[in-house]
Structure formats: C-alpha cells, structure tokens
Copies of this chain bind each other. A is one copy, B any other.
Amino acid sequence: MAYAHRVAPGTKIKLRKYDPDRTVGLQKDEALERFAKLSAELGGLQEELYAAGQHAALVILQGMDTSGKDGTIRRVFESVNPQPCHVWPFKVPTKEELAHDFLWRVHQVVPRTGLFGIFNRSHYEDVLVARVRRLVPKDVWKARYAQINHFEALLAASGTIVLKFFLHISKEEQKERLLKRERDPAKAWKLSAGDWGDHARWEDYMKAYADALSRCSTEAAPWYIVPANHKWFRDLAVCDVVVQTLKSYRSVWRATLVDMSKTRLAELKAIHKRHRSERRS
C-alpha cells in the first residue's frame, strides 16, 4: 500500500478528501523500522545515481509553514546519505530576481546529471503566495501553470527525475505548531510576521495548492500528497516514493556501471601488460 498519494495527471483534486492524519494503520515503531530500511537503500541509490551520471534527481518540497519541510530534509536526505545533495531554500525574491522571469532563479540551481537537488519551496510559490497575496495580476499567475509544466518537461527530457511533495497538515495542526513555536525561545526566531496571516488565509491557500497540484502533476514530474500531521509517517512516505522511483532506474544505471567497469578493467589490463613487457625488455 502506498503511503503518499500520487496525483494522477489530468485529474482535479480536492485537498479535504486527503486526511493529514493518515498512517495506514501503522504504529510509530513499525514505521520507524521501515523508514530505517528505506533510508539505507536511498544511500545506495544516490551512490549509483552519482556513479552512473546519466540522470539527476530533483525533489521539490512544498507545504504551509510548520508542515515540516526542514525536518523532512534533515531526516530523509541529510542524515543518512553519503553522496552530495544540494538543498536550495527559496525565500522572498530579491530585486534582481524580480527583474527576471520567475523561473530564472530556479533554473540556475537545478542539479546536473549525477547529483541530487532539493528545493525547499520553489517556483510553486509563484502560483501560491503570489496568487493568495495578489502579488501579480490573475492573468500572470494563470499563465504560470503551463510555463511550469514546460520547464519541468525540459528538465525531464534532459534526464532529470523530478519528484514533488506537498506536505499536507491540517489547519488545527498548524495552529498548534505555531503556538508551540511562539512558546519555544529556541524556535521563535523561525516565526515571521506573515505566518499567522497565512494561517488566516488557510482556505485560499488550500485552493491554490489544489490548483497547482491538479494542473502541474504530469507523467514527467508528478505531485505527491504526503499526510504530514505525524512526522514519522511523513518521513516514511517521502522516503518511500523517492526510493521506489529511483529503484526503477537501477537496472539502467547498473548496466552503465558494468560497462564502465569493463572499460576500466580493459585499461588496467593493458597497463599491466605494458609494464610486464617493459620489465622483460
């Protein structure tokens, strides 16, 4: 049974139909055990991705404040894997970034083949906060869905495996987490003036997310809805999708690696042979 829900391309989703508390009957202990196994697998897969150098992997994390984007990155991607993995947090655009098209700053930092890139927020903010907070006219953000699809299709065509996760928490859960942050001196700095304002605009954000997920889930770059009220389930769900997806490329990578090994072995043999004949003469 899948932990996260893959948004089928071309379907129109309603977010209230997806339960943020979902754990498919798993207990925390069991989930952590399964997560540990997948985590180890992910390390190996990243290594093969890197060595084969045929594909790049791009993970896009979106979700409301406190939905756990930072935590997911720490738990799933940074703590376990030995291979280089670049995290790009996208903040409010700078003046220079605003003087370009909205994909300009994003395109610059897409991963090259062999590498694993993670976007903490992304170009989707330009159809989320930009829409809800009316930062651009309607016709501008409306045109962006197609622009995003074309952009992600370009990445996919050049060998980038694109995976997009919406970390789905409930409005009540966010309220609790925001209150907890306020009370915690070590975390209070994370709160920005906009956080409660966005909380108040919850329904507008859910509508904007539903549209983004519906319009931009493609075969080349699918969206996954991750139940995220339980952090241990969220981590398991994200890790599972990444591992299952990368696994489907493993046979291709291994074939390449075998070819590379053969070539290298032949080179080594040739060197060895030359050395022997030099010693003889």
Interface string of A142-159 (1 = CB under 8 A from B): 010001001101110110
Judge whether B158 and A100 touch: CB under 8 Å: yes
- Chain B residues contacting A150 (CB-CB under 8 Å) are 147, 150-151, 154
| A201 vs B147: C-alpha distance when bound (angstroms) | 36
Looking at A100, A110, A140, the one whose CB has the most chain B CB atoms below 10 A away is: A100
Q: Which of B107, B110, B154 contacts A147 (CB 8 A)?
A: B154
Q: Which residue of B lies closest to A102 (CB)?
A: B158
Number of residues from A at the complex interface, CB < 8 A? 26
Residue A104, interface by CB 8 Å: yes
Residue A103, interface by CB 8 Å: yes
Quote the shortest CB–CB distance from A18 to chain B (angstroms): 31
Quote the shortest CB–CB distance from A50 to chain B (angstroms): 12
Judge whether B110 and A158 touch: CB under 8 Å: no
Q: Which of B100, B112, B157, B158 contacts A112 (CB 8 A)?
A: B100
Judge whether B101 and A155 touch: CB under 8 Å: yes
- Chain B residues contacting A108 (CB-CB under 8 Å) are 104, 107-108
Judge whether B99 and A110 touch: CB under 8 Å: no
Residue A113, interface by CB 8 Å: yes
Q: Which of B101, B107, B147 contacts A104 (CB 8 A)?
A: B107
Q: Which residue of B lies closest to A150 (CB)?
A: B150
Quote the shortest CB–CB distance from A213 to chain B (angstroms): 21
Residue A30, interface by CB 8 Å: no
| A143 vs B157: C-alpha distance when bound (angstroms) | 9
Interface residues of A in 102-128 (CB under 8 A from B): 102-104, 107-108, 110, 112-114
Judge whether A110 and B100 touch: CB under 8 Å: yes
- Chain B residues contacting A53 (CB-CB under 8 Å) are 99
- Chain B residues contacting A184 (CB-CB under 8 Å) are none
Pairs across A and B, CB under 8 Å, 30 listed: A56-B99, A96-B112, A99-B112, A99-B113, A99-B114, A100-B110, A100-B112, A100-B113, A100-B158, A101-B110, A101-B154, A101-B155, A101-B158, A101-B160, A103-B107, A103-B154, A104-B107, A104-B108, A104-B110, A107-B107, A107-B108, A108-B108, A140-B157, A143-B157, A147-B150, A147-B154, A147-B157, A150-B150, A150-B151, A151-B154
Binding site for B on A (CB under 8 A): 53, 56, 96, 99-104, 107-108, 110, 112-114, 140, 143, 147, 150-151, 153-155, 157-158, 160
Taking A96-B112, A100-B158, A101-B160 as given, write out 6 further A-B residue pairs in contact, using a Cβ cutoff of 8 Å, ordered by the A residue number.
A53-B99, A99-B114, A100-B112, A107-B107, A107-B108, A147-B157
